[in-house]
Structure 1
Amino acid sequence: MPGIVDITPFVFTRDLAASCEFFESLGFAPGLVQPDLGYAYCTGHGHALRVLQVSPEAEIGEQMIYLDVDDIDAFYDELRPVLDDMPEARVRPPFNQDYGQREFHVKDPDNCLLLFGSRIMRATDIPGQRRN
């Protein structure tokens, strides 16, 4: 049976060049950029993002992407020089969530929330969770 090869999120933007620069700073290099179509395909960390420019009048709405990483603190430290240059309101440093994840958050220029996270405990270790 044919299967799904990958899942690639779309990120909407009003400024294609600024978004490509932002995602490149996080390790997603724009491999295919078509400014006339308002489209870019950015790859990095073994995955990809599709960036799509919308009209200035378009309502983008809330966007969120969860990126699972193997070592959240090491990944944050690797990106820290870039993150330290961003406005403080766009970056939330690593913290532990009640649902067993350690995360840090970054907002792109169009307020898409990127949630980077690593598991710090199994779901069954969280109080109130059932074992299957």
Structure 2
Amino acid sequence: MTAHCKQITPFVPCQDLARQIEFYQVYLGFVLGFQADNYAFMHRQKAAIRLLQCPARLDGRPLGQDVSFYIDVEGLDALYEQLRPKLIHLPKDRVRAPFDQPYGQREFHVLDEDGVLVFFGEAISA
């Protein structure tokens, strides 16, 4: 049997698991697949994350400040328009509307409740 990688599922630290679950459901359209004490598995089609409740940092910085992950999508602008009615209720500094990157990707960005930067991106057609 040949082995192959299937997907990557990042662990996303959070201080309040219930609050983060709600954020990913309401604002980004993820579905809760499983939840236990300090852990939750969430997915949106083939993209998945694992939320892990952790204690606050001793230095007071946001728990997710040094964490980010990238979700490759098809139909980036359509996805943004689908999420926009909820995203407009977040503070403006937590959402960056779709834009083109010099490295050939179109992206939008969202900061979650603990400062994790979530990138959504799609290759720009030639």
TM-score calculated relative to the size of structure 2: 0.87
Q: Secondary structure at the match of 1:77?
A: helix
User: Which residue number corresponds to residue 31 of structure 1?
Assistant: 33
Query: Cα 1:109–1:18, aligned 2, differ >3 Å: closer, same or farther?
Result: same
User: Which residue number corresponds to residue 47 of structure 2?
Assistant: 47
- How many residues were matched structurally? 120
Matching of residue 111 in structure 1 with residue 115 in structure 2: yes
Percent identity for Structure 1 against Structure 2: 43
Larger Rg: 1
5+ residue gaps, structure 1? 123-132
User: Which residue number corresponds to residue 6 of structure 2?
Assistant: 5
**Larger RCO: 1 or 2 (CA < 8 Å, sep 6+):** 2
Tell me the distance in 2 between the aligned counterparts of 1:98 and 1:79.
24
Matches within 5 A, 1:1-132: 1-25=2-26, 26-34=28-36, 36=37, 38-57=38-57, 60=63, 61-121=65-125
Aligned Cα root-mean-square deviation (Å): 1.6
Q: Secondary structure at the match of 2:32?
A: strand
5+ residue gaps, structure 2? none
User: Which residue number corresponds to residue 130 of structure 1?
Assistant: none
Tell me the distance in 2 between the aligned counterparts of 1:109 and 1:12.
10
Q: Secondary structure at the match of 1:98?
A: coil
Structure 1 segments (4+ residues) deviating >3 Å: 57-61
> What code does the residue aligned with 1:41 have?
F
TM-score calculated relative to the size of structure 1: 0.83
Q: Secondary structure at the match of 1:19?
A: helix
